[in-house]
Amino acid sequence: MAIRLDKWLWVSRLYRTRTLATQAVSGGKVRVNRQPAKPARVLRLGDEISLHRGDESITVVMRGSVGQRVPAKAVSALYEETADSIAARLAARERHALTGWSGFAGKGRPTKRDRRALDNLTKP
């Protein structure tokens, strides 16, 4: 059964909504058989799909397709993640566990105490 790329990404639960899947494909974050793809690209069994979600990259091989979104337990029949992809994700998780996530950890504006701490760090 042939199915559109954006719909398959949504059906297989790799993206939460079909709109997010379409935006990711249009934004160049998804490749099919190492080639850039469009949302309406028709997938065939055995196609290799590489995608970037946040900080992680995932490469899967399409093993099945259905017309409607499937329960989470049935997702394993739709694709198989490659061994290289699994190893890369585990290595990235270990790196993040040792070094921590980068970026701003707080929420909103810094408090007066936080601002003073930042000022003390930046003063010569």
pLDDT digits (tens, 9 = 90+) for 41-99: 999 999 999 999 887 899 999 999 898 998 999 999 999 999 999 999 999 888 877 77
What is the C-alpha separation between 5 and 58, in angstroms, rounded? 15
Q: How many CA atoms lie within 13 A of 68 on its CB side?
A: 1
Q: What is the predicted pLDDT for the residue at 101?
A: 57
SS3 113: helix
Helical spans, DSSP H, in 1-124: 5-11, 18-26, 83-99, 112-122
Q: Which residues share a beta bridge with 32?
A: 35, 49
SS3 6: helix
pLDDT digits (tens, 9 = 90+) for 18-31: 999 999 999 999 99
Phi, psi angles (nearest 5°) of residue 50? -110, 130
- Name the nearest CA neighbour of 38 among 21, 55, 63: 21
